[in-house]
Structure 1
Amino acid sequence: MNGKFFKNIEFAKVLALKEDVKYAEGQVVSKTIVQTQNVGVTLFSFDKGEEISSHSAPGDALVYVSEGEVTITIGDNEPVIVTEGNFIAMPANIPHGLEATERFKMMLIVVKG
């Protein structure tokens, strides 16, 4: 069974978000699920201490943490800790960055207009 937009996942099967991307020592691992002109969905795993430096994106972004915790800074706001089972939204064109205070996994959804 093939889909039109989703890739790298099986259709008509229950999938465990936590298990769909594995940890790698000293690395960030990613798995793209959807990549179109207007929508991106990517799964990530971060080893402790890994980070993504401050950058901005052309779309609104939502980070859902499926395991562990991460410290995220958005614009001039104080850093916040996002823990397993929680999510945070980041507006388009506002700088943001993150640091893995421990190993964690997340799903990133980016939507552009």
Structure 2
Amino acid sequence: MDSNDEQLKFENSELEKGKAHIIVEIIEYVPNAVVIKTIIKKSTGNISIMSFDSGEGLTEKTSPFDIFSQIVEGRAEIVIDKVSHFLEAGQGIIIPAHLSNYIKPNGRFKMIQTIIKSGYED
């Protein structure tokens, strides 16, 4: 999971509004890469779908906002504050703001991440 080995590919065009989408077909796997596609991006938050090829993950980070992660295909290991959580398709988890977290390589999978930035003014 060395950041030098991490290959991220971003697709910044939003999905077409008012049209049904098959979630697992929104994004494809790319060999040796993590692909991130924006579904909706607003100043108050965003929703992205991500695909992880086998052996790919994300390095440790923290966020000033809660993040809801939902697995839509495959299985993933999400580590929050040094505690591993194993999720399968259909399962989700809220990653609390300000806690270290990362996604361990654990086979191919796709997930949706939702970040809501409003409500943190307190």
Secondary structure, counterpart of 2:28 in structure 1: coil
Match of 2:42 among 36, 39, 43: 36
Gaps of 5+ in 1: 1-6
Identity %: 27
Contact 1:39–1:109 at 8 Å: present in 2 too? yes
Q: Which residue of 2 aligns with 1:52?
A: 58
- Which region of structure 1 is more displaced relative to structure 2, 49-58 or 7-16? 7-16
Matched, 1:61 2:58: no
**Quick one: distance in 2 between partners of 1:10 and 1:58?**
29
- Which region of structure 1 is more displaced relative to structure 2, 44-53 or 7-16? 7-16
Deviation (angstroms), 1:92? 0.6
Normalising by structure 2, we get a TM-score of: 0.81
Secondary structure, counterpart of 1:18 in structure 2: helix
Question: Which 4+ residue blocks in structure 1 deviate beyond 6 angstroms?
Answer: none
Counterpart amino acid of residue 58 in structure 1: P
Alpha-carbon RMSD across the aligned residues, in angstroms, is 1.2
Matched, 1:19 2:25: yes
